[in-house]
Structure 1
Amino acid sequence: MYKKVLISASILSSVLFTQVVASETNISQASSKVKMLIQKHQLEIVDFSYVKQVISKGTKASASAILVDARPEAKYKKSTIPSSINIPDTKYKEMVSQLKDEDKNKEIIVFCGGWNCGKSPKVASMLKKDGFTNVKLYQAGEPEWIEKSYKEVDLIVIKAAQENNSALLVDARPYEMFLKETIAGSISIPDTKLDKLIGRFPNNKDEKIIIYCGGFKCAKSHKVANKLISLGYKDVSVFAGGLPTWKEANLSTTKNSVKKDDTKKEEKPTFSKNGIKYGVDEGSIDGEWLYSLIKSNKVPSNLQIVDVTASDEFSKGHIKGAINIQAEKFNAKEFYEMLPKNKRIVFNCTAGGRSLEAWMKLKDANYDVSEIFYFDANIDCTGTKCKIEVNEPIE
């Protein structure tokens, strides 16, 4: 009997040790600032498998926990984990009202732009302060998620894809419903006929695919998306709002085509008056253009990269020639006055979220941002050696 107890204790000790080591290994991937926030607020970290199980069929109704994306709204709309709601750390007081009717004991999982992103632990700590008792972190966040699974996108993304013919649009509802009305340009692959019709998907596994069905409560699109991921497709999205949201926006369907607007659109210039190449999204610099200049050490002298992350993150590594101003520490006036004069300014961070917020802070305060931009990219630097992955624009 004693021997059995001893063995059981040994096994339990081993399991606990493994969990501790795993936890420490996870935290070791984070910046010192994020580690400090996690430890200070005693936040439990969960992994991809845990989140995948929690979201179940991908809809808010099927998820056993509430997922909270702590990044800016523009980032959330572009790509998020299925079933998530958006509560940016900078707009917490305005957006937390989404949880006003929720049980304080309901499990909540907060995420943002990866291991070096401090937004998720900040929002998690604020939720705990407001009395929510079961708050966890998926600190690997959106970057890891989209490497391993499909993402959820907003109306703005599928609208741009349809206009630019840049993605395969798939209606997962029954074929009879597809015939009655669908988003113009879509193909029909009902979830119930998926195995039979799987050959209709492209051979190229990198092809961009957006799937939708009958709205936020419909799980058919999520079922198709999961199947495609299991088959090795890399760029799979679900437009959870589906046909109802598309119609509410008065966009064209096969039943009611919207009259074409013949008004000539004003063409946006390619470069600013000082030679900075515009990105597609408002306020952004052309990411590939800037990246090519950084790689070749040819960043023009009239352009100043301003790293808006915390000083410890900047010290660990940054783009060569960048200066450091932690934007979130200052109000718009203070921040603006700290920027170099007679320079074109480009904000950067680790995943694009904080740089976008820095730009929005100045724009919302009515400062002239015509020669101020943000760099939308995932950036990981050691010293001045940086791995940079430019994020795809929305439009």
Structure 2
Amino acid sequence: MNKKTLISIAITCSLLFGANLFAQTNLTKPSAKVQSMIDKYKLQVVDYNYAKAKVAKGTRNSAKALFIDARPNKKYKAGTIPSALNIPDTEYSKYVTQLKDVSKNKEIIVFCGGWKCGKSPKVGNMLKKDGFTNVKLYQAGEPEWTKRNYKEVDIAVVKGAQAKNAAVIMDARPYKMYLKETIPGAISIPDTKMSELKGRFPVHQGQKIITFCGGYKCGKSHKLAKKLLSLGYRDVSVFAGGMPVWIETGLATTKSASKIATKKDAPKKPTMTKNGAKIGSDEGSIDGEWLYSFIKKGNVPSFIQIVDVTAPEEYKSGHIKGSINIPAEPLKAKELYAKLPKDKTIVFNCTAGGRSIDAWTKLKDAGIDISEIFYFDANVDCKGTDCKIEVNEPIE
């Protein structure tokens, strides 16, 4: 056997090993627990290409199926599949009223925070119990969609990006409408002039971009978002509420002054807890980057206790080093609070942030003192105590 052949075999083995390792650490099918729920509720799972075809042009009136985001409202606001409505599994009865005029045979595709997330099969089952006959799951959900396509964001995201100058905001309406009134700081990129105005696009393809136009039925912002993706931009969102929602909220435009209190008028939020933890900008959150900096070094402050709220089998398969497991979902607020260590700053965590938010909200709604209780808004994928963590960007 000659030298070239040996090198070729070595490279092939290396690639095969790498692919196998990647497959082991990147879930591409439901976890055992989620699969058992899917089987029990007899739900069909669809893939990305199927979901993409059903999203169609991206607007609520053009989508070929009704998409339902089963995650907490905060996660939905931060970024969802275009056209989706929000029905959190923990607040189903409150949010399902949105479907009062929807035909029972309408195709509905439910999703949540990925392969390990059980919220979508739960909501799918609830919808079936309510008489909806064509319910499917896009179980890869928001994580896969966001990596491969543009997402839809709430007005809170746009306000935050505008205040921090953290995104390029693009008005996809005709130039005359832009001149008449627009969001302060937005640039004009009419969907009919995209090719002519490519020179106005950001130099760096990783730049955060938010497009908008004339509201939920307007497809211009979606066309612009798709064009940006085709050119290689990776962080593209659509503010589907657009100009109508911005004006209805009373926010300042290039034509009118703000009708609500400015940030300077609003009372300042505390930035640190009594124990010394750094508070995040979103209500109830710990500052994700601050906490992650300690987790990476393996020296989380002694006054902080990370509480993993996932099921015991999930915790056993992988968790942040030093965390303890208290499965929060089956517990009532007082039961959950009774199990928490006292005289510590509590930080809830899970795999994608949704169940952590649910646990924190449960305590808040029960009137429990949450001044030293927070959630860690991050995607956490652990094998043992070796964790890959991606901190989610705050809304505000």
Q: TM-score, normalised by structure 2?
A: 0.91
Q: Which moved more, 1:84-93 or 1:34-43?
A: 34-43
Letter in 2 for 1:358: A
SS in 2 for 1:225: helix
Q: Which amino acid counterpart does residue 256 of structure 1 have in structure 2?
A: S
Counterpart AA for 2:383: T
Matched with 1:313 is: 314
- Indicate the residue corresponding to 1:96 in structure 2: 96
> Aligned ranges for residues 1-395 of structure 1 at < 5 Å?
29-258=29-258, 261=262, 264-395=265-396
Q: Describe the SS at the equivalent of 1:196.
A: coil
Give yes or no for contact 1:32–1:312 (8 Å, CA) kept in 2: no
Q: Which amino acid is the alignment partner of residue 305 of structure 2?
A: Q
What's the offset of the Cα at 1:273? 1.4
How far apart are residue 280 of structure 1 and its match? Answer: 1.5
Query: AA paired with 1:312?
Result: E
Aligned-pair CA distance for 1:257: 2.4
8 Å contact 2:28–2:115 — kept in the other structure?
no
Mark the CA change 1:265 to 1:175 in structure 2 (over 3 Å): closer, same or farther: same
Aligned to 2:15: none
Q: What amino acid is the match of 2:99?
A: L
Q: Which runs of 5+ in 2 are unaligned?
A: 1-25
Range 251-260 or range 141-150, more displaced: 251-260
Query: Once the 2 structures are TM-superposed, how far is the Cα of residue 29 of structure 1 from its aligned partner?
Result: 2.6
Consecutive unaligned residues in structure 1, runs of 5 or more: 1-25
**CA offset digits 1:216-248 (Å, max 9, x no partner):** 100000000011111111111100001011000
Read off the aligned partner of 1:64 and give its amino acid letter. Answer: K
Give me the identity figure in percent.
65
**Do the aligned partners of 1:154 and 1:239 also contact (CA within 8 Å) in 2?**
yes
In 1: Cα distance, 2:86 partner to 2:33 partner? 23
TM-score under structure 1 normalisation? 0.91
CA distance in 2 between partners of 1:220 and 1:42 (Å): 38
Separation in structure 2 between the aligned mates of residue 271 and residue 227 of structure 1, nearest angstrom: 42
**How far 1:308 sits from its partner (Å)?**
0.6
Task: Measure, in 1, the Cα distance between the counterparts of 2:270 and 2:368.
Answer: 21
Change (3 A) 1:342 1:88: same
CA, structure 1 residues 27+374, in 2 after alignment: closer, same or farther (shift >3 Å)?
Answer: closer
Query: How many Å apart are 1:303 and its aligned residue?
Result: 1.3
Name the CA distance, whole Å, in 1 between partners of 2:67 and 2:30.
20
Q: Deviation at 1:265?
A: 4.5
- Cα pair distance change 1:323/1:263, threshold 3 Å: closer
For residue 262 of structure 1, report the CA deviation from its aligned partner: 8.7
Counterparts of 2:345 and 2:251, CA distance in 1:
38
Contact preservation (8 Å) 1:303, 1:344: yes
Q: For 1:366 and 1:131, how far apart are their aligned partners in 2?
A: 35
Q: Distance in 1 between matches of 2:298 and 2:177?
A: 55
CA separation in 2, counterparts of 1:313 and 1:261? 44
CA distance in 1, matches of 2:107, 2:383: 36
Q: Distance in 1 between matches of 2:387 and 2:30?
A: 17
Distance 1:254 1:284, change over 3 A: same
Secondary structure, aligned partner of 1:237: strand
Q: Deviation above 6 Å: which 4+ runs of structure 1?
A: none
